[in-house]
Amino acid sequence: MTTPLLSAREIDVTFGTTRPGDMPWTAPRKLRAVSGVSFDLAAGKTLGVVGESGCGKSTLARALIRMVPASGQVLWQGDTDLLSLSPAAMQRYRSEIQMIFQDPLASLNPRMTLGEIIAEPLRTHRRDLSRADIRDRVRRMMDRVGLLPQMINRYPHEFSGGQCQRIGIARALIVEPRLLICDEPVSALDVSIQAQVIELLQELQRDLNLAILFIAHDLSVVRHISDEVMVLYLGRVMEAAPAERLYAAPRHPYTQALLSAVPVPDPAVERDKRIIPLTGDLPSPMAPPSGCVFRTRCPRAEAACAAEVPAPGPGPHRCACLFPGTITADEVA
């Protein structure tokens, strides 16, 4: 069996928070943003991470690269725990893992030109390169992501959202990473531009054998790019499975509700499809429900759901539900 490039084991992220009016000696309250998340990601494969806003997707991504403190294990090639390394030891892995952010314009330095932005990681991680080598690599990367040579001295405000995201992709890939973390990279773009960026990422993945962690709200986008999909809710894994299997036969009520909300291009199919509504709002992570965190919005919840925390379990199709299976029309009536 091939060793995964990245393995996450029981990742937990907890923040201490205070309220207005709290005294300096008041103990901070605990906010558990990510709870017990585990997954494997192989080279050349894509793991899609989906869920509502506030479910811990971006926090999980930041925990993997130590932008926020976390517990658990993040194993690189099965043997090196990134969370246990000193800052100096972690530095050598920084170029192996790069990130693309949600807001393409906000992630770029407005005082730097396109060429300077793309070259910056090389100056940090490849200090042995000459100026001529850096200039040559930048121009080749620009061509690879579809940026014209005459753009090299322009500033970020002179580009469209799609072009800014291409700059972000070029900046991430210039140091030849092995893992690319995409934190909702197309959510701020038009639909046509989204398709172009997704196609570009897939092409680069095939050429470079990249592993991609792709975070998104849009399940239709995730379906096209992911080999496996993991569904989060209040920081916990609700369901994880190969993409084709999860979309064809979702087992968790939350996954089924999310998929039922995805628009279908065919008007007749869209009109006749059954919607599984999610009642109420996402509970506060400061005071999550007991037992299954999804039970307060689940059409199938029973008394046992309040007493027991379901675990996703082993196997290729993991589902953290005491009563998995297809929700019937009577249950949502």
Q: Does a structural domain hold residue 225? A: yes
Residues 153 and 286 placed together within one structural domain of the fold: no
Closest CA to 30 of 19, 43, 42: 19
Q: Give mean pLDDT, residues 67-92.
A: 93
Q: Which amino acid is at 284?
A: S
Residues 90, 119, single domain; the answer is: no
* Predicted pLDDT at 186: 84
Same domain, 168 and 185: no
Residue 200 and residue 273 share a domain: yes
Indicate the number of domains in the chain: 2
Residue 125 lies in a domain: yes
What pLDDT was estimated at residue 333? 62
Domain endpoint, select from 175, 200, 228: 175
- For residues 86 and 136, membership in a common domain is answered with no
CA distance 195 to 144: 17
Q: Pick the residue with more confidence: 315 or 132? A: 132
Name the token pair of 208.
């470079």
Q: Which helix (H) or strand (E) holds 312?
A: none
Domain that holds residue 150: 112-175
CA-to-CA separations, 271 to 232, 268, 305, 330, in angstroms, rounded: 28, 5, 33, 19
How high is the pLDDT of residue 103? 85
* 25 within domain boundaries: no
Six-digit token string for 252: 């968790």
**137 CA to centre of own chain:** 28
First-residue to last-residue Cα distance in the chain: 46
Q: Is residue 231 part of a domain?
A: yes
Q: Helix, strand, coil proportions of the chain in percent (round to 5)?
A: 35, 20, 45
Residue 102: inside a domain: no
Arithmetic mean of pLDDT over the chain:
90
The answer to whether 62 and 83 are in contact (CB under 8 A) is no
Last residue of a domain, one of 175, 193, 222: 175
Residue 60 confidence class, pLDDT cut points 50, 70, 90: very high
**pLDDT tens digits for 217-244?**
888 889 889 999 999 999 999 999 999 9
Identify whether residues 153 and 253 lie together within a single domain.
no
Residue 201 φ/ψ, nearest 5 degrees: -65, -40
Residues 45 and 118 in one domain: no
Q: What is the mean pLDDT of residues 136-156?
A: 94
Contacts of 104 (CB under 8 A, 6+ apart): 161, 162, 164, 165, 167, 168, 185, 188, 189
Assess whether pLDDT exceeds 90 at residue 326: no
**Cβ atoms 153, 114 nearer than 8 A:** yes
Q: Note whether 139 and 244 are same-domain residues.
A: no
Burial of 246 (0-12, 13-18, 19+ CB in 10 A): buried
The verdict on residue 120 lying in a domain is: yes
Residue 104, in any domain of the structure: no
CATH number at residue 221: 3.40.50.300
Place of tokens 């923040």: 15
Q: What is the 3-state secondary structure (H, E, C) of 159-221?
A: CCHHHHHHHHHHHHHCCCCCEEEEECCCCCCCHHHHHHHHHHHHHHHHHHCCEEEEEECCHHH
Does residue 323 lie in a domain region? yes
Q: 162 and 206: one domain?
A: no
Task: Grade residue 1 by pLDDT with cuts at 50, 70 and 90.
Answer: low
CB atoms within 10 A of CB 309: 14
Query: Which of 175, 195, 225 represents a domain boundary (last residue)?
Result: 175
